[in-house]
Amino acid sequence: MNLIGVNPALPGISGSKKLGFFSFNGGNQPINLKPGGVYQIKVAMEEKQTLKLDVQGKVDRFANGHAGKNHSHLSTIGNSTNIKWHVCPVEKTDRQKLLQQRGCVIWITGLSGSGKSSVACALSQMLYQRGKLSYILDGDNVRHGLNRDLSFKAEDRVENIRRVGEVAKLFADSGFICIACLISPYKSDRAACRAMLPTGDFIEVFMDVPLRVCEGRDPKGLYKLARAGKIKGFTGIDDPYESPLDAEVVLQCNTGDCSTPRDMAEKVVSYLEEKGYLQA
Ligand SMILES: Nc1ncnc2c1ncn2[C@@H]1O[C@H](COP(=O)(O)OS(=O)(=O)O)[C@@H](OP(=O)(O)O)[C@H]1O
Ligand SMILES: Nc1ncnc2c1ncn2[C@@H]1O[C@H](COP(=O)(O)OP(=O)(O)O)[C@@H](O)[C@H]1O
């Protein structure tokens, strides 16, 4: 059983924003946890090193978004106090049956100009042709609305990814195949989005395209402006990009002569097919 615990008010824990969120997997061991109960939970967090914690906290909700039948307790999530998860009888599995597909998140990461949007569009088209519903959350587009208050400084990029991760999670829960394409330069943010979803439902696609190729394309002239010092903090120039080491799909292009976005999207479709996401 996969569980997600979210309790920023964990007693005795402070000093790291990462500790506000944890997830764990019971593997094949049955865990008889009741929603609303108070448990002693051992959490092992693996980032660069393994951090072992003994946490006394409440189980707030299950990873599938259900608080279970006994949902009389009130929770504190972030700054929201006295809130309670409301459960409806129509569940993700029902919606998936209706759509004949499984909800998931395809997370496309890579430098500006690496082809994220092109692959996202090609993928969405190919899925549409097969009668599968998808929706694209493109970083550039989301910054026109939901995230218009965010800049490109580090903490705003973190918030950008967190919000899109949360929205993508909702789309996946609705049964959609959500395609998120953002630079998402930090590994820890992508890992946090992965942890929001049930195991397997976050599919990371790495546009493994070197800076020189992206800069050679420069369709918006942004690299030129960044090189000229007219844009500060541009990813790949004077701002970091942390490549994934464990992406589910790697789409490589080392030269100017790449395979087409459609061919690249085909690899993602094959992955979805193989893992059973294109059927209920
Ligand atoms: N400083 C800086 N660094 C990187 N990119 C910049 C910057 N300023 C503007 N842009 C444009 O914003 C697009 C990236 O937005 P994202 O939301 O995907 O970025 S991030 O994930 O928050 O890093 C990106 O679009 P793509 O080229 O589609 O990646 C750029 O057009
Ligand atoms: N596989 C590809 N081969 C050649 N050019 C590509 C490929 N994918 C995208 N491009 C071109 O590269 C530029 C950037 O593509 P885009 O999808 O907007 O990237 P991103 O969303 O990562 O910024 C565009 O001009 C696009 O036509």
Specify if 109 maps to a domain. Answer: yes
Other Cβ atoms closer than 10 A to 40? 8
The residue whose CA is least distant from atom 8 of ligand 2 is 115
Listed residue (210, 213, 206, 212) closest to 184, CA to CA: 206
Task: Order the strands of the 61-62 sheet from edge to edge.
Answer: 21-25, 2-6, 61-62
- Label residue 202 left, alpha or beta by phi (over 0 means left) and psi (-120 to 50 means alpha): beta
Q: How large is the average pLDDT for residues 106-110?
A: 99
The residue whose CA is least distant from atom 25 of ligand 2 is 219
Catalytic residue among 23, 75, 134, 184: 184
By residue range, what is the domain housing residue 131?
A: 92-275
C-alpha to C-alpha distance for 149 and 156, rounded to whole angstroms: 9
C-alpha to C-alpha distance for 240 and 223, rounded to whole angstroms: 14
Structure letter (DSSP) for residue 260: P
Atom of ligand 2 nearest to the CA of 253: 1
Specify if 244 maps to a domain. Answer: yes
pLDDT in tens, 118-164: 999 999 999 999 999 999 999 999 999 999 999 999 999 999 999 99
Q: Which two tokens stand for residue 135?
A: 């929706």
Listed residue (209, 165, 157, 210) closest to 185, CA to CA: 157
254: exposed, middle or buried (Cβ count in 10 Å: 0-12, 13-18, 19+): exposed
Atom of ligand 2 nearest to the CA of 207: 22
Specify if 31 maps to a domain. Answer: no
Q: Indicate the pLDDT class of residue 257, thresholds 50, 70 and 90.
A: confident
Give the ligand whose atoms come closest to the C-alpha of residue 222: 1
pLDDT in tens, 42-93: 555 545 554 444 444 444 444 444 434 454 679 999 999 999 999 999 999 9
Q: Say how many domains are in the chain.
A: 1
C-alpha to C-alpha distance for 200 and 43, rounded to whole angstroms: 20
ipTM of the complex: 0.99
**Whether 188 is catalytic:** no
Q: What is the pTM of this model?
A: 0.81
Listed residue (25, 132, 6) closest to 67, CA to CA: 6
Ligand 1 centroid to residue 197 C-alpha, Å: 24
C-alpha to C-alpha distance for 157 and 226, rounded to whole angstroms: 18
Specify if 77 maps to a domain. Answer: no
Tell me what percent of the residues of the chain surpass a pLDDT of 90.
72
Tokens 């694209």: give the residue. 136
CATH code of the domain covering residue 107: 3.40.50.300
Specify if 203 maps to a domain. Answer: yes
Q: Which of 107, 108, 217, 234 to mutate to test the pocket of ligand 2 (most atoms within 8 A of CB)?
A: 217
Give the ligand whose atoms come closest to the C-alpha of residue 257: 2
Ligand 1 centroid to residue 151 C-alpha, Å: 10
Taking all residues of the chain, what is their mean pLDDT, rounded to a whole number? 84
Specify if 179 maps to a domain. Answer: yes
Specify if 117 maps to a domain. Answer: yes
